[in-house]
Amino acid sequence: MAKITFVDSEGRARTVDAETGSTVMETAIRNSIPEILAECGGACACATCHVYVDEKWVEKTGKASAMEEDMLDFAFEVKPNSRLCCQIKVSDALDGLVVATPGKQG
Amino acid sequence: MSDTIITDVVIVGAGPAGLFAVFELGLLDIRAHLIDILPRAGGQCSELYPEKPIYDIPGFPIVTGQGLVDNLVKQIEPFHPTFHFGEMVEAVESIGEPNHPAFRVRTDAGKTFECKCVIVAAGGGSFQPKKPPIAGIDAFEGKSVFYAVRRMEDFRDKNVLIVGGGDSALDWTLNLHPVARRITLVHRRDEFRGAPHSVNAMRELVAAGKMDLVIGQVSGIAGENGELATATIKANDGKAHEIACERLMPFFGLTMKLGPIAGWGLNLHENLVPVDTEKFETSTPGIFAIGDINAYPGKLKLILSGFHEGALAAQKVHRYVYPDKKLTFQYTTSSTNLQKKLGVN
């Protein structure tokens, strides 16, 4: 179990419980987090679960894979800390993770 | 304008649910035409995850999205469905009565159909180009900002900015190069997903000084009366600079939008079409909705739900198409009648 905080584009933060082994995207959908669409349902095929990982967590969440980088081409306003959150697996090490969501996904 | 196409059923959407509906209708001697905005069958399966394995199709421990679609297309071959790809259904107009429904269906390609029933199997809606969140872009769309090339002449002797790193961006970079005054390709990184030969061809043009490649993202555009004049490109180091351009083509892939369905007079609930769970009929008798687009208590957005819904909807469609015929339930394993229709007996 880990706590994850989603900060929306207006700056509003929501902290929710995330199950170990699930993905950050699944956690967002389960908790009706706004600004996460996840159109493809987690197949790394749509770039509508784009998040900005808080700088303090970038090292722990790791780098995007080559496939994820390809899909990030479909996202808007991509930054060095951009990730598709369907590709971030929840673990105890991510307890306290903070991600920000962009104003527009698709 | 072509002549009106007369058929029993028009199916809107050629994803797995729409494809299998052809099978269930076919067994009941009901002919169908399928219309899809995409250039091929398969809907989300082909568009979003053609190579991804699916594990919850009954009888297939594992099958890819494209594998499932290919099998469905083969399965419905005996019923000779007619596909209309690259077309969007714009209007569905009722021309019958509740007990004897009939509809006139029009597509954006100018085709008109007349049918007894419509099955909406449109999944998440129609796939449409993603629009980048650039302030004021709406005012330029269709005049100087385009998401597809309809007429090459629109780009003749223009400074064209193409944004993206996939095949669409690369193909149009190469195709418009001889026509445009100058092409600038903008991509967020110096790596491209497109076909290697297209990437090489683009790099050769850049090396020869015949086009420009800029690594960065478009952060703003400016112009007057819908005519673009400049675009601001933000480089990855945060520095911004302006590029003069009269045309902009953003290629950020596709997203699903409900689209014209909202205007067909159906009751909608949160962009879904409510149906009953006996016939999967909408608020308009004769219009059915199956697959991810429908809503009812307990709905699961699974492909197998779409199959089930199509089978049940077909039973009611039969009553509309053949009001005087009694429907006898038969199995494909034992019915010589059904086997004849499938071409196996």
Euclidean distance between CA atoms B168 and B163, whole angstroms: 10
pTM of the shown model: 0.80
Q: Do B52 and A39 touch (CB under 8 A)?
A: no
Q: What is the pLDDT of residue B2?
A: 59
* Cβ of residue A43 closer than 8 Å to a chain B Cβ: yes
Cβ–Cβ under 8 Å, residues B249 and B146: yes
pLDDT, mean of residues B310-317: 98
> Which has the higher per-residue pLDDT, B34 or A44?
B34
Facing residues of B126 across strands? B257
For residues B251, B252, B256, B260, the Cα torsion angle rounded to the nearest 10 degrees is -30
Q: What is the pLDDT of residue A43?
A: 83
Q: Which chain A positions have a beta carbon within 8 Å of B252's beta carbon? A: 73-76
SS (H, E, C) B102-135: CEEEEECCCCEEEECEEEECCCCCEEEECCCCCC
What token pair was written down for B67?
Answer: 């594998």
Q: Which chain A positions have a beta carbon within 8 Å of B187's beta carbon? A: 73
Residues 72 through 131 of chain B touching chain A, CB cutoff 8 Å: 124, 130
Q: Among B271, B251, B274, B241, which residue's Cα sits nearest to residue B259?
A: B271
pLDDT at B182 over 80: yes
pLDDT, mean of residues B166-184: 96
Cβ–Cβ under 8 Å, residues B83 and B72: no
Domains of chain A: 2-100 (3.10.20.30)
Q: Which chain B positions have a beta carbon within 8 Å of A47's beta carbon? A: 253
- Within 10 Å of residue B334's Cβ, how many Cβ atoms? 9
* Cβ of residue B52 closer than 8 Å to a chain A Cβ: yes
Euclidean distance between CA atoms B187 and A79, whole angstroms: 13
Place of tokens 């009565």: B97
Cβ–Cβ under 8 Å, residues A79 and A11: no
pLDDT at B1 over 80: no
Looking at every residue in chain B, the average pLDDT score rounds to: 95
ipTM, two decimals: 0.87
> H or E element: which one contains B274?
strand B273-274
Q: What is the CA radius of gyration of chain B?
A: 24
Cβ–Cβ under 8 Å, residues A87 and A64: yes
pLDDT, mean of residues B206-223: 97
The pLDDT tens digits for B133-146 are: 899 999 999 999 99
What token pair was written down for B11?
Answer: 């199916």
Cβ–Cβ under 8 Å, residues B174 and B147: no
Q: How far is CA B240 from the centre of its chain?
A: 36
pLDDT at B345 over 90: no
All residues at 6 or more sequence positions from B224 whose CB lies less than 8 Å from its CB, including other chains: none
pLDDT at B254 over 90: no
> Could you list the mean pLDDT of each consecutive 10-residue stretch along chain A, which spans 106 residues?
96 96 96 92 89 97 94 93 96 97 89
Q: What angle do CA B124, B127, B129 make, to 5 degrees?
A: 135
Euclidean distance between CA atoms B209 and B314, whole angstroms: 60
pLDDT, mean of residues B101-119: 97
Domains of chain B: 5-127+255-341 (3.50.50.60), 131-252 (3.50.50.60)
Q: What is the pLDDT of residue B320?
A: 97
Q: What is the pLDDT of residue B149?
A: 86
pLDDT, mean of residues B268-293: 96
